[in-house]
A and B are shown apart, each in its own frame.
Chain A
Amino acid sequence: MEAFQNGSKEKSAFKIEIKDVNFDYVDKKSKYEALKDINLDIREGEFICILGASGCGKSTLLSLLAGLNRVKSGEIFVDGKKLKGPGTDRAVVFQQYSLFPWLTVKGNVLFGIKQSGRKIGKKERERLAMEQIENVGLSGAVNRYPSQLSGGMQQRVAVARALALESDILLMDEPFGAIDPRLRLELQELVSRLCTENHKTVVFITHDIDEAILLADRIVVMEPGRIKSIIKVRFPHPRVREELSGTDEYEKLHRQLISAFYDQVEEQIDSEVAL
């Protein structure tokens, strides 16, 4: 990382730079400031978790990074270039129901490969698709349609499709929020492993503290509209939940996050009561 920061001046030291970003949701009558003066720099290969209660603007931030919404003011740079819209340099995994229901598991992954714009033959594409499907452990369900898969399997396919784009950056919007806890752990470890192996720069949205600790290099705690604090996680990758939980460092981090997270939740509840 040091080498990067000392690099040439033209090339940015950071993979993603978010500078003074503001975003409003404008209604017919009212205006809601979803994000106020957000600043965040993300290094290449870094795994960032954005932690916050619902309505704090974390998903909005991700949609800006994905290029699905435009900033009101401020700028976002990816690889030193100003971000203009959606693109295949950033793969996105959504919370649910983002697979194409008319395509099989293989078809969905192939769609990602075709869209990535690589000039490769049909056979090579098929091989790559099968490889990605194998990576997420779904070789047995290649020809099934999304409606025939459980929620957990669908998210595996979504991850495989995103990886198939072979982008440096992976954006994940609470991808395992709707999955039951036992399977969630399995998927978290899978994503952690795949992202480390493929050296991805990841922005991962979550409201689950344990998930954030397990995955992140840095955890960005958000309160409505703002970044409240950024906490580093120093456990080496790959991480295993059983080995981490119970250690003093884990407990300390957990407490720290809980206080950061719940302070803000209490404030929010108070303000809602006051209204």
Chain B
Amino acid sequence: MKNRFKLEKGMFFEYLLATGLMLINIILASALPYFTKHKVYYDSTAYVVVILISYIIYLIRLFITKKKSVNDVAVVLFGFFILWETAYKSGWIHNDLLIPSPEGLFHVFVEKTPEILADVWGSVRLLFLGFLLAAVFGTLLGLLAGWIPRIREVLLPVSNVITLIPPLMFSAYLIMIFSTFRQAAVAVIFFAVFWPTFQGTVVRVGQIDRQIIEAAKTMGVGTVGMLTKVIFPYCLPGIIQSLSKSLRGAFMCLAGAEMLGINLGIGYFIEKYKSFADYRCVLAGIVTVGVITTVIDMIVNKAKNVLIKWEK
């Protein structure tokens, strides 16, 4: 336990540097005066909180991974904040409309908390629904097609054509088919995830070690047992891996899907403030998307570690 909080000699200096930069950040945020006139001045509390949260995450990462790169990331991040802050307050950056101050950017999260939360929730719900449906059906069909050549030979050429068409291009048509925009948005995400999942699963089934299949056959495993008890668990790590990739793709489509006309969701949030020319909010929306994808990615990774104990 003692060694857990001990850092190597070389790392201690870097740790001091990162911490020092963080402190300078907070001092600048709360004490540095503005040297030029701006239209609006924002409260710096939200910004300081963001700096502190970043610092806490940095500490946790540092003591868990003990990697030097964690220090480097922190130095770059806090360094960037310092540059941004000084550039803004000293007046190097004039364009308030296009480039907000860090205080202004993070203050959006205070001003519009309920709106952002509702939009995030809306997005995640759409994403989850479309993604879950696509993951389940894509995997099922992929397993079947991977194992049974006749199904594969019909579906694989079809999927090869369809995956080349960006799912958003279906959107105009999907709106006509589905009764609500919500359903259409879910369908867009579904198509974005379904075909890649299907193809990935087919490929993975094809890569199974022949010995595994033969061993199962000699133990009297039939077709259903082969799919559920052998091929599915064998492919599971690969399937989860590819799902975490297509999840990102799905998020991109989500932003597009939300522009189809649902007035809820983080993509809609960005789109709305873009048309108001409120780029401060647009940037805040982009930051939110970054945070959500990171969190989802972490959850998927965690799920992978819990579900798949046999690799590593």
Contacts and interface: CB of A to CB of B under 8 A. Distances in A.
A103 B214 CA distance: 17
Interface stretch (A13-21, A46-54, A86-94, A192-200): A86-94
B218 A147 contact: no
Contacts of A67: 217-218
Interface in B80-138: none
Contacts of A95: 211
Q: Is the interface of A mostly helix, strand, loop or mixed?
A: loop
B223 to A, nearest CB: 13
Contacts, number: 66
Contacts of A63: 214
A101 B211 contact: no
A25 interface: no
B219 A115 contact: yes
A54 B309 CA distance: 37
B221 interface: yes
Contact of B221 (A97, A115, A145, A171): A115
B230 interface: yes
Interface in A110-167: 111-112, 115, 117, 145-147, 165
Contacts of B41: none
A96 interface: yes
B209 interface: yes
Nearest to B230: A100
B234 interface: yes
A88 B212 contact: no
- Measured as residues with beta carbon below 8 angstroms from the partner, the interface class of chain B is 20 to 34
B212 A145 contact: no
A66 interface: yes
Given A146-B310, A147-B311, A100 B219 contact: no
B311 A92 contact: no
A101 B234 contact: yes
B218 to A, nearest CB: 4
B214 A68 contact: yes
B215 A92 contact: yes
Nearest to B214: A68
A256 interface: no
Interface string A66-94: 11100000000000000000111011101
Contact of A94 (B215, B229, B234, B309): B215
Interface string B233-245: 1101000000000
B219 A165 contact: yes
B290 interface: no
Given A88-B219, A101-B310, 20 more contacts: A66-B214, A86-B217, A86-B218, A86-B220, A87-B218, A91-B218, A92-B218, A96-B211, A97-B209, A98-B214, A100-B212, A100-B234, A101-B234, A102-B233, A102-B308, A103-B233, A115-B221, A117-B220, A145-B309, A147-B312
Interface of B: 209, 211-212, 214-221, 229-230, 233-234, 236, 308-312
12 contacts: A67-B218, A87-B220, A88-B220, A91-B218, A95-B211, A98-B212, A98-B215, A100-B234, A101-B310, A102-B310, A111-B219, A111-B229
